[in-house]
A and B are shown apart, each in its own frame.
Chain A
Amino acid sequence: MLWNAFLSLLDIWVLVAAVTGIVTGIIIGAIPGLGPTMAIALLIPATFSMQPIPAMILLLGVYQGAIFGGSISAVLLNVPGTPSSAATAIDGNALARRGEGGRALRIALYASVFGNVFSCLVLMLLAEPLARFALDFGPAEMTVLMLFALQVIVLFGGGSRLDALIMVLVGICAGVVGLDPIDGSPRFTFGSFAFESGFQLIPVLVGLFAMSEVFIQVFSRRSETGDPEIPDLKPARVSLLDLWRMRAILVMSSVIGTFVGILPGIGSTVPAFMSYNLARSRSKEPETFGAGAAEGVAAPEAANNAVTGGALVPTLALGIPGDAVTAVILGAFMLQGLAPGPFLFKNHGVEVYAIFEALLLSSLPTVVFGLLLFRVAVHVIRIRPQHLFPAIAILAALGAFSVNNSLFDVWVMLGAGLLGFFFRRSGFPISPLLIGLILGHPFEQSMRQALLMSGGSLGVFVDSPIALGLLGLTGVSLATSVLFSLREKRRDSE
């Protein structure tokens, strides 16, 4: 299987896709306000006419490139290109301000590649056995698994749990629109034929992440303040010995990033800060953190890049996305006919392993193009919103239309964009909504199938050891969250 997968990579279009994805990702990630989610959502139409392997390699290349690209503006401007680069900005920008911006960016690049390689290896080791295990899951087990995933997103996704719960419920309600999965009767369609197939994922994604950002930019537009001040990038070198000295922190950060990434809903910002704090606590010179410590750049970058592989484990093996980016990638896999879930490895093993191997091998072009693009990215950062966001709005309309060649989807995109603007402006998290939308329909279908099989008895959800184990995990995560809240309250009151 691995050899066949490798042979399928020996195609010039695979190389072109990998390089294009990485370069696009690095450039887009460097622009504050544009993240991997928006970039992938807008690029999906470009993959319609492509074969599945190069198409997915292009999109995953954008994902990898954008996570690293976010560190460029974090280091040079102290403005994280992606939220996960916020921890990198602390020491990265301090290094840049004392004339070591080039060194900081090189450390960020090598640490990113290290985290990426580590998480890809874990992905290759874990995803297939997990999918094989999930083949034994019936409707009851799938219901409890999805309940667990939704609960983790609400409890540990960060921010207000009530807000996250409201967003998950809104997403599930949006997923209910369309024909009933069991008896086929229309629900919330208001007599419209277009509503009967429900909301398509890609138009909603493009609306929530791209169009809502356009609205937010218009809402918060600022008068021109001149070009941002960017420190000079002097020639610098990072030797293998420098990296060897940081080996322990690179490995530990990669472990944190990968395994936190596997948990749904947490994203890459939390592991980046966890790794940063770990690096500071282990350092012999903790006082240098915040003033330009190399480990302060390496740790968060290794962690936030390691999340990419970790988050793909539940997405591909179980069909449960870990965060917004993997939700978009899940949509792209489905559009290419590679439906994520337990049967993915059984039915499309060669394609999936080819994508994994390409992710691993793309570390080389990431290093090469990362080094070449530092100086280009400096110019890209200077692009003003009024020149960038008209293009985003135009591409958003195309992205929504191209899924079904339907103007109805463009209306859905526009509606989701406006709704996303109000939600984001009000401080609601968007990822729980998206994951609720993705899981709402299969959650309802599995639950109703399980209840039909059991003649309406709820006992079906505690009948099997797998379901019971998953219910136990759900209970443990709830208890952990309550304990953390109580401890935080006690600490606040002291």
Chain B
Amino acid sequence: MALGALALALVIRLGLGFMRGATDASIGPGRRLAWTLALALVSGLALVAMPVLGYFAGAGLVGVATALLLGERRPVLGVLVPVVIAGIVTLGARWGLHIPLP
């Protein structure tokens, strides 16, 4: 009962607050929310694929998606840089920190 009341209060407040926004005047075009949810979806897909493809591929995919959704259109900066960062992090974690990455 108490949990239900808390969930209801949270949902109502979230709905009202999200439309108004904490800092911005309004929610703006719906596509901004779509970009955000697209990143969440790509990150989820990368996580599903991570046990098969490995951390490097999964993290690289998340990095590239983030760069592209943040508006980077140059292939070197939008694709190559995130892939290089994912590579450095993978090598550093595996050989430097001895983390058994997937």
Shortest Cβ distance from residue A199 to the other chain B in the assembled complex, whole angstroms: 16
B35 touches A219 (CB 8 A): yes
Against A, the Cβ 8 Å flags (1 = close, 0 = not) of B13-27 are 110111011101000
Smallest Cβ distance from B5 to chain A, in angstroms?
10
Those of A354-385 within 8 Å (CB) of chain B = 385
CA–CA, A390 to B87, complex, Å?
A: 13
Whether B47 pairs with A217 at a CB distance below 8 angstroms is: no
Which residues of chain B are within 8 angstroms of A421 by Cβ–Cβ distance? 36
Q: Is the CB of A393 within 8 A of B66?
A: yes
Which of A75-83, A327-335, A405-413 lies at the binding interface?
A: A405-413
Report chain B residues within 8 Å CB of A156. none
Collect the chain A residues with CB atoms within 8 Å of residue B20's CB.
426-427
Cβ proximity bits A427-467 to B, threshold 8 Å, 1 near / 0 not: 11000000000000000000000000000000000000000
Query: How far apart are B18's CB and chain A's nearest CB, in angstroms?
Result: 5
Residues of chain A within 8 A (CB-CB) of B89 are 394-395, 398
Q: A173-B6, A414-B40 are in contact. Are A390 and B32 (CB under 8 A)?
A: no
Q: Given A218-B35, A394-B82, A414-B40 in contact, is the A386-B14 Cβ separation under 8 Å?
A: no
Contact between B10 and A166 (Cβ–Cβ < 8 Å)? yes
Pick the contact of B99 from A219, A386, A401 — CB < 8 Å? Answer: A401
- Partner of A414 from B22, B44, B98 at Cβ < 8 Å: B44
Is A25's beta carbon under 8 Å from chain B? no
Number of interface residues of A (CB under 8 A): 47
- Cβ contact within 8 Å between B93 and A45: yes
Q: Determine whether the beta carbon of A170 is less than 8 Å from that of B6.
A: yes
Chain B 45-79 interface mask (CB, 8 Å, partner A; 1/0): 00100110001001110111011011110000110
For residue A166, which residues in chain B have a CB less than 8 angstroms away from its CB? Answer: 6, 9-10, 13
Would you call B24 and A220 a contact (CB within 8 A)?
yes
Instruction: For the complex, give the distance between the alpha carbons of A386 and B78 in Å.
Output: 8
Q: Which of A173, A389, A414, A428 contacts B17 (CB 8 A)?
A: A428
A223 on the interface (CB 8 Å rule)? yes
Knowing A218-B70, A394-B63, A426-B22, the reply to whether A414 touches B43 (Cβ < 8 A) is: yes
Contact A221 B59 (CB under 8 A): no
Residue contact B72 to A214, C-beta cutoff 8 Å: no
Inter-chain contacts of B93 with A (CB < 8 A): 45, 398, 402
Q: Are B71 and A386 neighbours in the complex by a CB distance under 8 Å?
A: yes
| Across-interface contacts of B43 in A (CB, < 8 A) | 393, 414
Q: Answer yes or no: A46 CB below 8 A from chain B CBs.
A: yes
Q: CA–CA, A394 to B55, complex, Å?
A: 10
- Which residues of chain B are within 8 angstroms of A422 by Cβ–Cβ distance? 14, 18
Q: What DSSP secondary structure best describes chain B's contact surface? A: helix
Q: Is the beta-carbon distance between B39 and A386 smaller than 8 angstroms?
A: no
- Find chain B residues with CB under 8 A from A386 CB: 66-67, 70-72, 77-78
With A and B bound together, what is the CA distance between A223 and B99 in angstroms? Answer: 38
> Chain A residues with Cβ under 8 A from B16's Cβ?
426
A484 at the interface (CB under 8 A from B): no
- Cβ-based interface call for A227 (8 A): no
Q: Which of B17, B50, B59, B66 contacts A426 (CB 8 A)?
A: B17
Tell me, in angstroms, the Cα distance from A395 to B92 when the chains sit together.
11
B18-A426 in contact (CB<8A): yes
On chain A, the residues within 8 Å of B99 by CB distance are 45, 48, 398, 401-402, 405
Nearest B residue (CB) for A217: B70
Q: Which residues of A contact B60 (CB under 8 A)?
A: 394
- Check if A144 is an interface residue, CB within 8 A of chain B: no
Give the Cβ gap from B25 to chain A, nearest Cβ, in Å. Answer: 12
Instruction: State whether A45 touches B18 (Cβ < 8 A).
Output: no
The reply to whether B97 and A219 contact each other, CB–CB distance below 8 Å, is: no
A285 CB-CB contact with B under 8 Å: no
Q: Using a CB-CB cutoff of 8 Å, which residues 268-299 of chain A contact chain B?
A: none
Q: Decide: A391 and B70 in contact? CB cutoff 8 A.
A: no
Does A245 lie at the interface of the complex (its beta carbon under 8 Å from any beta carbon of B)?
no
Complex CA gap A152/B61 in Å reads 43
Q: How far is the CB of A221 from chain B (nearest CB, A)?
A: 5
Q: Contact: B10 with A218, CB < 8 Å?
A: no
Do residues A219 and B33 form an inter-chain contact, with CB atoms below 8 A? yes
Q: Is the CB of A173 within 8 A of B3?
A: yes
Which A residue's beta carbon lies closest to that of B59? A394
Question: Given A170-B6, A219-B32, A394-B86 in contact, is the A387-B67 Cβ separation under 8 Å?
Answer: yes
Q: Is A232 on the interface with B (CB-CB < 8 A)?
A: no
Task: Give the CA-CA distance A218 to B16 in the complex, in Å.
Answer: 21
> Given A397-B62, A405-B100, A414-B40, is A425 in contact with B21 using a C-beta cutoff of 8 Å?
yes
CB distance from B74 to the nearest CB of A (A): 10
Q: A13 in the interface, Cβ–Cβ < 8 Å? A: no
Q: Which residue of A219, A397, A402, A423 is within 8 Å of B36 (Cβ)?
A: A219
Nearest 9 CB-CB pairs, A to B? A426-B17, A427-B22, A386-B70, A390-B63, A386-B72, A390-B82, A390-B66, A394-B59, A390-B67
11 residue pairs A–B, Cβ–Cβ below 8 Å: A45-B97, A219-B33, A223-B71, A386-B78, A393-B59, A394-B59, A407-B47, A407-B102, A418-B40, A424-B22, A426-B17
> A residues within 8 Å of B by Cβ?
45-46, 48-49, 162-163, 166, 169-170, 173, 214-215, 217-221, 223-224, 385-387, 389-391, 393-395, 397-398, 401-402, 405, 407, 410-411, 414, 417-418, 421-428
Q: Please give the residue numbers on chain B whose beta carbons come within 8 Å of chain A beta carbons, in ascending order.
A: 3, 6, 9-10, 13-14, 16-18, 20-22, 24, 32-33, 35-36, 39-40, 43-44, 47, 50-51, 55, 58-60, 62-64, 66-67, 69-72, 77-78, 81-82, 85-86, 89, 93, 97-102
